[in-house]
Structure 1
Amino acid sequence: MNQAASPNLSEDEKDILQEIMNIAFGNATADLAEVVDIYVMLSIPNIQVIGIGELPSYLKDTIKDDGESSIVEQKFWGNFKGSGLLVFPSGSGKDLLAFLDDKADYTYESNAAATLEKGGLLEIGNILIGACVGKVSELLGTFVTYSPPQVLQGKASDYNYLIEHFDPQQTAIVMKTIFTFKEKDINGFLLILTNHESIDWLQKALHEFMDSYE
């Protein structure tokens, strides 16, 4: 691969971005707790720079689930451009629905239950992704616009659709945290992906962020 076409992040830049993501993920969970009274625990954010063509394999290795996962995807545009993905392994969406409304008696095979599950996933995804991306944008002095979130369901072998609009020879930054709902055995992944077009801007913004504290 042509190195000139594949910008990377230095270790210092990754450290700065990790701190910013830590703040952003924390802000997102606080917003979620305020809206739906759910406390979410997050792992320390992990930052990786990978080829876009490697993204489906990365997701498959990360999720490690042969069943049908539910993914809330929300795209965002601006200097900071990419996609937020909230990934629930198979079965977690139904568990989450029961957790959100433990007094309800749903038949999960019914259309009504499927609609409620989708609505719950969209609500949580919209809060977590929007609050996280919004905080990153605020800290780095820019703003973004969002597409409406959508729920996608499929097996790991189907993840190629995530890169169909990207050049597989380009680079993506993957920012990942593992989340767990404190009062229930429900977990998943929150990933923020930013593509090749944003990396030059991001590197400059990270250094400006650090310079503002010196």
Structure 2
Amino acid sequence: MMLWIFLPITLVVTPGLAPVNRLSGKNARTSVLDVFAISNIAPGQVASKLWTHWALGVLVVVWVCYVVHCEALAFVEAKQEYARSEHYRSQSRATTILVGNIPEAFLTEDKLRDAFDVFPGGVRDVYINRNDSNLTAKLAAREKLVTALETAQTKLIAARVSDVAATRGSQGSGNLSQRSGHALGAVCGKDQGRKSCAGPQTMPKTNR
């Protein structure tokens, strides 16, 4: 749409205004672009030359409105054609409307069905959206409680694991010391096919 607006304006306005500003001007400025500006028109020729600018300005406004109107009609036609297509009509959004600011007296499924039963085919489903503004705060409080419960449960499990590990460690050290005492207090061996245990033996003393 922008191309349809500005391209014709450029092709019409530039050739129309440039000669008027150039040929009826003061030509006092040395810049090339200054002689094509509206300020180049001589004071004595303002009344006879500015009608060109006014006419082209009106033409630009009319052309822009015409292009916008044509594009709007094309958009409406394309939208209606898409709404009549089989692909769109088979979707639920094609037959679904959103109604707001419903009074409290009509916030029931039966009353809404009776109110909108004038539509062709009747009403198939009714969905009522309630005011759930307090739900966010309740969900945040629930998340805090869940986090606190999980933290307490984790601490309880960690404490129980530490107690079990400490208990097993103390029992293991006691059994190890008991087994070491038995090993140092007796020497077991085999004597003629039978097992005999004796206490710690001492070396015999010899007198020299």
- For the aligned pair, the TM-score class normalised by the smaller chain equals under 0.3
TM-score with structure 1 setting the length: 0.19
> Which structure dedicates a bigger proportion of its chain to strand?
1
Structure with the greater relative contact order (CA < 8 A, sep ≥ 6): 1 or 2? 1
TM-score by length of 2: 0.20
Which protein has the larger Cα radius of gyration, Structure 1 or Structure 2? 2
- Structure 1 or 2: larger helix share? 2
